[in-house]
Chain A
Amino acid sequence: MVKTTPIASKINYQALSEELETILNELQSDNLDISKALSSYERGLVIIKQLEDYIKRAENSITTINSLKTSKKSVK
């Protein structure tokens, strides 16, 4: 197993994107108290920052894995 490039700080992009969508929907709805509105807003800012950092900086990593039985004899 050979690691070729380091992986950037790991975040769950999908989960954070969904959380951000929820926050935006909440903030645009009625029946929201002021403390919840403020905490949601602050959390939204944090998520946006995290996602932007991740998208700008994260790199893909490639690990070569040997298969269980066969070994490669020639390549295309």
Chain B
Amino acid sequence: MQAEIELSVSQFVASVNETFEFAYPFISIIGELSNFRISKNQWVYFDLKDDLASVRCFGTVYRLPGPLEDGMLLKVAGNPRLHSQYGFSFNIQSIRPVGEGSIKKAADLLTEKLTKEGIFDTARKRLVPYPPQSIGLITSAQSAAYADFIKILNQRWGGIAISLVDVLVQGESAPASIIDAIETLNQQAEPPEALVITRGGGSPEDLWAFNTEQVTRAIAGSRIPTIVAIGHEIDISLAERVADMRASTPSNAAELIVPDRNEVLQRLSKQHSILNQAIKAFFAQLKQRLVYFREVLDKDIKSMLDQMYESLASQKKLLEVLSPNSALKRGYAIIHYNNKIVSGGGGLSVGNLLQIMVRNAEIHAKITKISNITKE
């Protein structure tokens, strides 16, 4: 017979907890949720049960994957604990719905809650730089999703600085891993211009992390614009719905965020032609304008010369009218005495010799009489 062990109550509680820690360092229990309640917006209480048994669970609201409802099948990870006053409970580390029905129900409840908050509103969507010069890539570095994304990205475009954060994309720790990666990239001294969060397709349980409230809120809260691509799934995950841009597969994400280099080269070639045509057209137009200006100039100069000619002709005509020859032609005569024109009778005497010019001769005459001299 074994020796009886006598312990105080406190000693017994401590001993039981030590035994729990040794026996169950990390354990998950799967069961149906019942009696779910939240106290003071901080504490979570519920029972996890099956047909034969029920276990009381306790934790904080921060461990919740989103809204829950009695009847859902959950996988709760944590530690069994005997509390010194409140008795036994299973202390929650993480909760996730299991089974397609429960996962869908949890996603529906979360969608309803987040939709009311406006987290999926189109107005919240930001433009992703096209193409970005730097990308923060959140994925599993060993996954086909990573290989596909990088392959298509390299085929299409170059010069992008990719900051890779290798994360868990499924399993209990996946949400924390993804959230941490989003925070890490957001806190970089020079944050990337876009975040690409991607993984390949899988079962609803595989993709669970992308339907959790924590991951959805972390994507919504990213200061860097986000692109989420979860491959080949039927239902769109909440992570994709909240992202600024959604792609159907990792390859599609690469196609959406960068142009195809061959198409851009073709466009550049076309722009080169347009540039050459534009400068040719510019000079052709310039030449046309110069020809027009020359025509206008020629016309103006001709018109100016014509005017000058006309003016000259009229002056010539006037000059001809005013010329003494013109008077002689009309029958007048010009009289000179001592080489000076005689314009009156003053200063002349009988006997003076005069020179008289008429239209076609010069006549020499002597004054024989002067009469009718009037004072002027």
Please report A residues at the B interface, Cβ cutoff 8 Å.
7-8, 10-14, 20, 23-24, 27-28, 32, 34, 37-38, 41, 44-45, 48, 51-52, 54-70, 72-76
Contact = CB atoms under 8 A, between A and B. Distances in A.
Given A51-B268, A75-B166, 20 more contacts: A7-B161, A10-B133, A27-B275, A28-B274, A48-B268, A48-B275, A52-B265, A54-B159, A57-B158, A60-B162, A61-B160, A61-B161, A62-B150, A62-B164, A63-B162, A70-B167, A70-B177, A72-B167, A73-B173, A76-B142
28 contacts: A7-B161, A13-B131, A14-B131, A37-B282, A41-B278, A44-B271, A54-B159, A55-B157, A55-B261, A56-B265, A57-B158, A59-B154, A59-B158, A60-B158, A62-B164, A63-B164, A64-B166, A65-B184, A67-B177, A68-B184, A69-B180, A70-B168, A72-B166, A73-B173, A74-B168, A75-B142, A75-B168, A76-B140
Contact of B129 (A8, A14, A62): A14
Best-buried of B157, B187, B199, B271 by chain A (most CB within 10 Å): B271
Contact of B279 (A10, A12, A27, A58): A27
Contacts of A60: 150, 153-154, 157-162
A67 B180 contact: yes
B165 interface: yes
Nearest to A7: B161
Contacts of B140: 75-76
Nearest to A60: B160
A58 B271 contact: no
A45 to B, nearest CB: 7
B28 to A, nearest CB: 16
Given A27-B275, A27-B282, A64-B166, A14 B142 contact: no
A41 B168 contact: no
Interface string B279-290: 101100010000
Contacts of A76: 140, 142-143, 168-170, 199-200
B261 to A, nearest CB: 5
Nearest to B143: A76
Contacts of A34: 286
A32 B184 contact: no
B142 A65 contact: no
Best-buried of B153, B167, B278 by chain A (most CB within 10 Å): B278
Given A37-B282, A59-B159, A76-B142, A67 B268 contact: no
Interface string B187-200: 11000000000011
Interface string B124-136: 0000011101000
A61 B160 CA distance: 6
Contacts of B154: 59-60
Nearest to B182: A67
A57 to B, nearest CB: 7
A65 B177 contact: no
A11 B160 CA distance: 11
B159 A10 contact: yes
B64 interface: no
Given A20-B271, A24-B278, A76-B169, A68 B183 contact: yes
B272 interface: yes
Contacts of A38: 279
Nearest to A59: B158
Nearest to A12: B133
Given A27-B278, A37-B282, A52-B265, A62 B162 contact: yes
Nearest to B136: A65
B171 interface: yes
Interface string B259-270: 001001100100
B291 to A, nearest CB: 16
A14 to B, nearest CB: 7
B161 A58 contact: no
Contacts of B165: 64-67
Contacts of B261: 55-56
